[in-house]
């Protein structure tokens, strides 16, 4: 037996280095052209778009077939526990000053069944009435929570279409500041004050881009 | 028939005009009493405007939610007046609240 014939010769260091370099280069090309576009939506060479790989990285919601029939921009269609909307999801953040004994109403327009989440705090206790107004005249308002409060956090599913929000009154001779944060499927916000001024508030709309599948705010 | 149609149309028009006219608006005046009369209260509001507001027997004048007589109202008293009317020049006080002195600077 010739021991030299059964023992494979190890590759030279130069050959090992060259092979390793080639493997790393191939891995890098695959990473940039296939893995990054498919997994993370990162497509610097546009190979993912060309191969249709970027759709794989789109969020699951973006792959939904669409909004069920009957859903309008802000009126949901209920499918089990899920409410589907055709409109953009909105967020709002505002700081309101209430001078001594002043009051104001801050309301959102919500369709029946539409939902929102809210959180507000005041620098002192305020007279408060969280209510809805279908807009059919005086006396049609429906109170959801009416008591003096300094803060509140919760969710609302509108029991009817109309304006839904808060009446806040400053019962003291010192100025009170109210900070409100909310999000949901409302279409507009209106502030009405005891000095009879009214002001529409601009809302931030979170809309999913059809191109990137990501949310864009405006 | 034509006469009947005319009457119905006239009534409908009269009703459509009278409904908005009969609807009063709510006003809140926050300020200091400048003059008191038996049936009228003059208030200088924090925004600088002067209001002349009617009082009647139904006007609820109170301090700390307890009813007081109109004679308690004096010039210089800070008040919160909830009133109703067609305009700020034609107001009837529903409630006059006597409150502690209000800080002069109105932050908004």
Nearest CA in chain B to A175: B107
Antiparallel, parallel or unpaired: β B40-45 and B25-37: antiparallel
* Residues A51 and A94 both lie in one domain: no
* A131 assigned to some structural domain: yes
Rg of chain A, C-alpha, whole Å: 29
* A65 assigned to some structural domain: no
Show the DSSP H helices in B1-108 as ranges: 2-22
Q: Of residues B94 and B106, which shows the higher confidence score? A: B94
Test A173 with B107 for CB contact under 8 angstroms. no
Burial of B61 (0-12, 13-18, 19+ CB in 10 A): buried
Separation CA A44–CA A52 (nearest Å) = 14
Contacts of B23 (CB under 8 A, 6+ apart): none
- Output the average pLDDT for chain A: 85
- Cα-Cα-Cα-Cα dihedral of A68, A69, A73, A78, to 10°? -50
Test A173 with B99 for CB contact under 8 angstroms. yes
Average pLDDT over residues A187-202: 95
Separation CA B82–CA B45 (nearest Å) = 13
Q: What one-character DSSP code corresponds to residue A8?
A: P
* Residues A82 and A165 both lie in one domain: yes
Name the least confident of A51-55, B48-52, B74-78, B98-102. A51-55
Of A99, A103, A196, the CB nearest to B106: A99
* Residues A14 and A121 both lie in one domain: no
Chain B residues whose beta carbon lies within 8 Å of the beta carbon of residue A101: 28, 30, 80, 97, 99, 102
* A63 assigned to some structural domain: no
What tens digit of pLDDT does each residue of A90-144 get? 999 999 999 999 999 999 999 999 999 999 999 999 999 999 999 887 788 999 9
Chain B residues whose beta carbon lies within 8 Å of the beta carbon of residue A174: 103
Test B108 with A194 for CB contact under 8 angstroms. no
DSSP string, A127-172: EEEEEEE-SSSTT--EEEEES-EEEEEEEEE-SSSEEEEEEEE--S
Q: Note down the domain range covering A34.
A: 3-57
Test B106 with A196 for CB contact under 8 angstroms. no
Separation CA A95–CA A208 (nearest Å) = 27
For chain A, percent of residues with pLDDT exceeding 70: 82
Instruction: Answer for the pair B33, B43: CB distance below 8 angstroms, yes or no.
Output: yes
At residue B2, the pLDDT reads 56
* A66 assigned to some structural domain: no
Of A103, A174, A195, the CB nearest to B103: A174
* Residues A53 and A137 both lie in one domain: no
* A20 assigned to some structural domain: yes
Chain A residues whose beta carbon lies within 8 Å of the beta carbon of residue B84: none
Average pLDDT over residues A28-34: 84
* Residues A35 and A82 both lie in one domain: no
Give domain limits for chain B: 24-98
Predicted confidence (pLDDT) at residue A149 exceeds the cutoff of 90: yes
By a Cβ cutoff of 8 Å, what residues of chain B touch chain A? Answer: 25, 27-28, 30, 46-47, 78, 80, 97, 99-103, 106-108
**In this structure, what CATH number is given to the domain that contains residue A150?**
2.60.120
Q: Is the pTM value of this prediction over 0.90?
A: no
* Residues A14 and A116 both lie in one domain: no
Test B106 with A175 for CB contact under 8 angstroms. yes
At residue A181, the pLDDT reads 98
* Residues A103 and A208 both lie in one domain: yes
Chain B residues whose beta carbon lies within 8 Å of the beta carbon of residue A102: 28, 30
Place of tokens 């028939």: B1
Instruction: Answer for the pair A85, A74: CB distance below 8 angstroms, yes or no.
Output: yes
At residue A117, the pLDDT reads 98
* Residues A26 and A84 both lie in one domain: no
Chain B residues whose beta carbon lies within 8 Å of the beta carbon of residue A100: 30, 46, 99, 102-103, 106
- Cα-Cα-Cα-Cα dihedral of B28, B32, B34, B39, to 10°? 40
Could you count the other beta carbons within 10 Å of the beta carbon of residue B5?
Answer: 9
Test A174 with B25 for CB contact under 8 angstroms. no
* Residues A105 and A207 both lie in one domain: yes
Q: What one-character DSSP code corresponds to residue A73?
A: S
Confidence of residue A71 (pLDDT cuts 50, 70, 90): low
Structural domains in chain A (count): 2
* Residues A50 and A109 both lie in one domain: no
At residue A62, the pLDDT reads 41
Q: Which CATH superfamily is domain B24-98 in?
A: Copper binding periplasmic protein CusF (2.40.50.320)
What tens digit of pLDDT does each residue of B6-65 get? 555 555 554 444 444 456 889 999 999 999 999 999 999 988 999 999 999 999 999 999
Place of tokens 């009813």: B67
* A71 assigned to some structural domain: no
Predicted confidence (pLDDT) at residue A85 exceeds the cutoff of 80: yes
Chain B residues whose beta carbon lies within 8 Å of the beta carbon of residue A196: 25, 27
Nearest CA in chain A to B29: A195
């Amino acid at each position: 037996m010739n021991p030299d014939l059964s023992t494979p010769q190890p590759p030279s260091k130069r050959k090992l280095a060259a092979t390793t370099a080639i493997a790393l280069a191939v891995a890098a090309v695959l990473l940039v052209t296939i893995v990054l576009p498919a997994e993370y939506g990162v497509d610097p060479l546009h190979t993912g778009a060309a191969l249709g790989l970027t759709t794989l990285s789109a969020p699951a919601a973006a792959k939904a077939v669409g909004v069920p029939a009957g859903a309008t921009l802000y009126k949901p269609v209920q499918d089990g526990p899920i409410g589907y909307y055709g409109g953009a999801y909105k967020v709002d953040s505002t700081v309101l000053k209430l001078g001594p004994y002043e009051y104001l109403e801050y309301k959102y327009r919500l369709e029946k069944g539409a939902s929102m989440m809210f959180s507000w705090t005041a620098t002192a206790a305020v007279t408060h009435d969280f209510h809805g107004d279908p807009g059919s005249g005086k006396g049609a308002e429906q109170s959801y929570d009416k008591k003096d409060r300094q803060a509140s956090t919760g969710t609302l599913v509108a029991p009817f279409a109309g304006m839904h929000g808060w009446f806040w009154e400053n019962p003291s001779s010192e100025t009170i500041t109210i900070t409100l944060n909310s999000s949901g499927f409302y279409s507009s916000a209106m502030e009405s004050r005891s000095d009879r001024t009214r002001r529409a508030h601009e809302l931030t709309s979170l809309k999913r881009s059809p191109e990137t599948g990501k949310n864009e705010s405006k | 028939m034509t006469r009947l149609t005319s009457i119905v149309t006239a009534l409908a028009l009269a009703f459509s005009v009278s409904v908005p006219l009969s609807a009063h608006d709510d006003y809140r005046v926050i300020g200091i009493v400048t003059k008191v009369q038996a049936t009228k209260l003059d208030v200088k509001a924090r925004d600088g405007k002067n209001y002349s507001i009617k009082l009647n027997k139904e006007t609820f004048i109170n301090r700390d939610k307890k009813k007081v007589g109109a004679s308690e109202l004096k010039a210089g008293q800070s008040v919160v007046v909830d009133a109703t009317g067609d305009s700020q020049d034609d107001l009837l006080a529903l409630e006059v609240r006597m409150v502690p002195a209000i800080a002069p600077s109105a932050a908004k």
